[in-house]
Amino acid sequence: MESAIETCDLTVAFSTKSGPVKALNGLSMKVDAGQIFGFLGPNGAGKTTTMHILLGFIEASSGTAKVFGTDVRQSIARRKIGYLPEQPDTYRFLTGRELLSLTGRLFKMDKKTIRDRTGKLLNDVGIAEAADRRIGTYSRGMMQRICLAQALINDPDLVILDEPTGGLDPIGRMDIRKIITELRDQGKTVFFSSHELSEVELVCDHIAIMARGKIVAEGNAAELVPEGKSLEKFFMEVVGDSGSAGGAAPGETQGL
């Protein structure tokens, strides 16, 4: 099966006053195309750093990362990606509809495709009634929804979501889960990080748990957690065993 994401011995080191700190420590993983991949870990495990490498925001100190076989350092790799950050924000003076139209034009989409995609996405994320209001009047949950629509406007093959249900009420979280499963049904790959482990259990095909800049547990979502345990309990045991609860000494890993 084709890999949507593949990393090999990925390392990221940052300089600090107390010495070098590794945010990623030889991270190797493979995400098959067409699956929902849950990327978990405590704060500081290295999840966001990994996402930022895939998106070309930062470069690795060593190792490789590829998206659909293309090195992430090549800009063409990012044309197939849609991204929702943990704390989304955007041009608040635009309306929701204007934002999606502008984003579509940046991707050089034709007018009809922009119009059709905009209408569909506004409905999908449940914000059609507020489409012609300025984004500055949106609530936090509405901001989350319109930025998700923005991430999907180019019909990406890989969707990277960082805490996609943050700020949403139970109905909103259910809507996002539906969108995520529909993306998989369309053959898309969804790579998402969340502290809401119940959300992960409901939608993921595959799960990887990070601690101290590397993966400490990984497997099929239905088989990873031992029988009789919850994902939350298993997560706490695995993260605790890795020693990631404590701070890192200089030169050790303290992921971002």
Burial per residue of 177-211, b for 16 or more beta-carbon CB atoms within 10 angstroms, e otherwise: bebbeebbeeebbbbbbbeebebbbebbebbbbbb
Q: What is the pLDDT of residue 251?
A: 43
Q: Which residues pair with 19 in a beta bridge?
A: 16
Task: Classify 69 as helix, strand or coil.
Answer: coil
Closest of 128, 133, 158 to residue 55, by C-alpha: 158
Report the CATH superfamily, name and number, of domain 3-241.
Answer: P-loop containing nucleotide triphosphate hydrolases (3.40.50.300)
Q: What is the pLDDT of residue 194?
A: 86
Q: Which two tokens stand for residue 120?
A: 């569909």
DSSP element (H, E) containing 114: helix 111-124
pTM of the complete model: 0.88
Q: Which two tokens stand for residue 170?
A: 């139970």
Q: What is the pLDDT of residue 245?
A: 43
pLDDT tens per residue across all 256 residues of the chain: 679 999 999 999 888 888 788 889 999 999 999 999 999 999 888 999 999 999 999 999 999 999 999 999 888 878 889 999 988 888 899 999 999 999 999 999 999 999 999 999 999 999 999 999 999 999 988 999 999 999 999 999 999 999 888 778 888 888 889 999 999 999 999 999 988 888 888 899 999 999 989 999 999 988 898 888 888 888 998 888 665 444 443 344 444 5
Q: What is the pLDDT of residue 243?
A: 57
DSSP element (H, E) containing 65: strand 62-67
Q: What is the overall mean pLDDT for the chain? A: 88
Q: What are the sequence ranges of the domains in the chain? A: 3-241
Report the alpha-carbon distance of residue 123 to residue 51 in Å, rounded. Answer: 28
pLDDT single digits (tens) 234-243: 899 888 866 5
